[in-house]
Amino acid sequence: MWGAVLNGSSTVRRSLAALLVDELDLVPLPRNLANTDGSANFALEPAGDARLSQWMDTRRTLATWVKPDGVQLNSVETAALRRLRPPLNLDKVGEPRERLRTARKRMANIAKAWEPGLGTGG
């Protein structure tokens, strides 16, 4: 049986995983192995999740912003996304991102079809 499966709750991680599935040899799984509910989201098997974390650790940077009082975050987020058009965002960027949507859907479909003991080392 797989070890602990991470919950797959980060949309950035799911997007990166979907685009790097072949390069990092990633295996998508249901977010909850005890209740494979057909969620559109997915987790990764532990070894692949570790490879993705390592890939991210060597490439990411982080910036923060302190929200001034009275500023509505949703409007700031929307304006920033429309202006910067970050490639991993699916919403609010003003373009469809079909390649990313298709890649994520593929990973989710693989996770939905997962069965213990079949194929990927269960």
Q: Kindly state whether residue 83 falls inside one of the protein's structural domains.
A: yes
Helix (H) or strand (E) holding 38: none
Q: Kindly state whether residue 1 falls inside one of the protein's structural domains.
A: no
What pLDDT is stored for residue 99 in this prediction? 93
Q: Are 39 and 31 in contact (CB under 8 A)?
A: yes
Q: Kindly state whether residue 2 falls inside one of the protein's structural domains.
A: no
The predicted-structure confidence for 11-38, as pLDDT tens digits, reads as follows: 889 999 999 999 999 999 988 777 666 6
- Structurally, how many domains does the chain consist of? 1
Where is mean pLDDT largest: 24-28, 89-93, 115-119?
24-28
Q: State the burial class of residue 55 (Cβ atoms within 10 Å of its Cβ: 0-12, 13-18, 19+).
A: middle
Q: How confident is the model at residue 44 (pLDDT cuts 50, 70, 90)?
A: very high
Name the residue range of residue 27's domain: 11-113
What pLDDT is stored for residue 2 in this prediction? 40
Q: Kindly state whether residue 19 falls inside one of the protein's structural domains.
A: yes
Q: Kindly state whether residue 118 falls inside one of the protein's structural domains.
A: no
Report the b/e string of 15-31 with b at 16+ CB within 10 A: bbbbbbbeebebbbbbb
